[in-house]
């Protein structure tokens, strides 16, 4: 079996603002990007094991964005944003701390992943004081380091015991993931492994696709699974992996992986009455806003115009832009205000996603009352529109 590793890009392109904002894109070396974020996020006087744990989280998160082509597969000309609401804190033009520079130069091509997977871990983190999250606590990591924890023990404390460290990943210039030629029955090599890995992960949510051996050989079973994937997503079902099918696989793989991350968030929503609560707009706060943000987060994985949002119960500009993106998609007046019609249309969209893509462990049970007459489940596919 061929062994492949995600590569570390020589450079990374950063959008200096939220994804949809009009802002500059800057390209910097990958090590300098990591030094910038680490110098903006943590204190250079912290214990070295805390610094290493935080820097590895920063590296892995950024590499996940590059490896999954999270933004480029959505048509953006950048790899990551500088907005902490979406990604990591990058301050263009800032200086670096020497302690952080030294560590980054040593480990910039190391990253975290879960055992049995290829992609770098999308390692979330927060400061652990004013903001908490399901990932690494920055101040918490310093506390653990003061107790004598090694950096890998700190990482596993927050991300789980199945996280492993990949060292000395190859470095190369950025290239599109698409290999530039069609993969077909008889093809072999690392690109086929990527397709097989993606098919197997997607099949967890689309069982009809079926699983295949990850052996780097494009045989009849892989061809059949490709055909079933193409049929499910409205592509020409020819069993060939050309550019359109390659990027459809990338998009759906990223979407179902991201939705699985929403599992723990979704558990909080099982007992909710999903009837329209009240008009929600900029400045609103509370549980109703959290429910809205949860629905937007799920929709964002399948609708290009809806940017991901933080589920924090605060209706800020990020949430307003996501609402506007959904309203445009749904043919509603894009005013950023969630009234009855916007709520019901968004709810129907998520109900369709649940019915087509997800099992009951990933989304709250949907109460399909008579007011929900037109679920889009039968039409929901890559590139679909209301």
DSSP string, 276-297: --S-B-TT-BSHHHHHHHHHHH
User: Positive or negative CA dihedral for 75, 79, 82, 84?
Assistant: positive
Quick one: three-class SS letters along 24-62?
Answer: CEEEEEHHHHHHHHHHHHCCCCCCHHHHHHHHHHHHHHH
Given this model, what pLDDT does residue 353 score? Answer: 65
Residue 140: pLDDT over 70:
yes
| Range from 32-36, 178-182, 278-282, 355-359 carrying the lowest mean pLDDT | 355-359
The three-state secondary structure class of 74 is helix
Give the residue-averaged pLDDT of 300-305: 75
Rounded to 5°, the CA angle 167-170-175 comes to 140
State how far the Cα of 135 lies from the Cα of 58, in Å rounded to an integer. 12
pLDDT at 1 over 50: no
pTM for the full model?
0.60
In this prediction, residue 249 has a pLDDT band, given cuts at 50, 70 and 90, of confident
Which pLDDT does position 300 carry in this prediction?
81
- Residue-wise pLDDT tens digits, 221-247: 999 999 999 988 878 899 999 987 887
Considering the chain, what percentage of its residues have pLDDT values greater than 70? 83
Report pLDDT for 336.
94
**pLDDT interval class at 380 (50, 70, 90):** very low
Q: How many alpha carbons fall within 13 Å on the CB side of residue 69?
A: 19
Q: Read off the pLDDT band of 262 (50, 70, 90).
A: low
Helix (H), strand (E) at residue 87: none
Residue with tokens 């709520």: 343
203's tokens: 């099949």
* pLDDT category of residue 172 using cuts at 50, 70 and 90: low
Average pLDDT, the chain: 81
For residue 357, pLDDT beyond 80: no
- Residue 362 per-residue DSSP state: T
Q: What whole-number distance in Å separates Cα of residue 58 and Cα of residue 197?
A: 24
Least Cα distance to 177 among 103, 278, 98, 70 occurs for 70
Residue 87 confidence (pLDDT) above 60: yes
Q: How confident is the model at residue 326 (pLDDT cuts 50, 70, 90)?
A: very high
CA atoms of 242 and 136, how far apart (whole Å): 38
Would you say residue 370 has pLDDT above 80? no
pLDDT at residue 47, rounded to an integer: 95
Give the pLDDT score at 259: 62
The pLDDT, as a whole number, for residue 367 is 41
At residue 268, the pLDDT reads 45
Tokens 């019609």 sit at which residue?
341
The whole-number pLDDT of residue 261 equals 57
Structure confidence at residue 78 (pLDDT):
93
Inter-residue contact 341 to 243 (CB < 8 Å): no
Side by side, the strands of the sheet bearing 11-15 are 25-29, 11-15, 80-81
């Amino acid at each position: 079996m061929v062994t492949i590793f995600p590569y570390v890009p020589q450079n990374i392109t950063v959008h200096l603002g939220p994804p949809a904002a009009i802002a500059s894109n800057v390209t910097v070396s990958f090590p300098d990007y990591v030094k910038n974020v680490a110098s903006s996020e943590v204190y250079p006087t912290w214990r070295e094991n805390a610094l290493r744990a935080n820097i590895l989280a920063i590296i892995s998160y950024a590499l996940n964005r590059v490896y999954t082509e999270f933004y480029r597969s959505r048509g953006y000309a950048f790899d990551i944003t500088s907005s902490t609401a979406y990604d990591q804190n990058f301050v263009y033009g800032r200086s670096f701390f020497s302690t952080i520079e030294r560590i980054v130069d040593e480990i910039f091509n190391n990253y975290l992943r879960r055992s049995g997977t290829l992609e770098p871990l999308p390692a979330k983190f927060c400061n652990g004081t004013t903001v908490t999250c399901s990932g690494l606590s920055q101040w918490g990591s310093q506390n653990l380091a003061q107790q004598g924890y090694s950096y890998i023990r700190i990482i596993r404390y927050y991300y789980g015991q199945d996280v492993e460290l990949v060292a000395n990943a190859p470095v190369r210039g950025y290239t599109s993931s698409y290999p530039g030629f069609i993969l077909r029955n008889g093809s072999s090599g690392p690109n086929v492994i990527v397709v097989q890995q993606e098919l197997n992960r997607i099949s967890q949510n689309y069982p009809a696709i079926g699983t295949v051996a990850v052996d780097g050989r494009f045989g009849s079973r892989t061809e059949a699974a490709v055909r079933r994937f193409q049929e499910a997503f409205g592509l020409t079902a020819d069993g060939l992996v050309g550019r359109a099918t390659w990027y459809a696989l990338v998009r759906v793989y990223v979407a179902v992986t991201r939705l699985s991350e929403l599992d723990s968030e979704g558990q909080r929503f099982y007992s909710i009455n999903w009837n329209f609560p009240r008009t929600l707009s900029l400045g609103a706060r509370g549980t109703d806003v959290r429910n809205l943000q949860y629905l937007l987060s799920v929709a964002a994985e399948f609708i290009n115009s809806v940017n991901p949002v933080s589920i924090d119960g605060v209706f800020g500009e990020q949430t307003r832009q996501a609402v506007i993106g959904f309203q445009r998609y749904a043919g509603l007046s894009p005013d950023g205000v969630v009234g009855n019609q916007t709520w019901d249309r968004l709810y129907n969209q998520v109900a369709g996603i649940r019915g087509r893509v997800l099992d009951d462990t990933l989304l709250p049970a949907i109460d399909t009352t008579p007011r929900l007459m037109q679920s889009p489940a039968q039409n929901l596919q890559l590139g679909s529109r209301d």
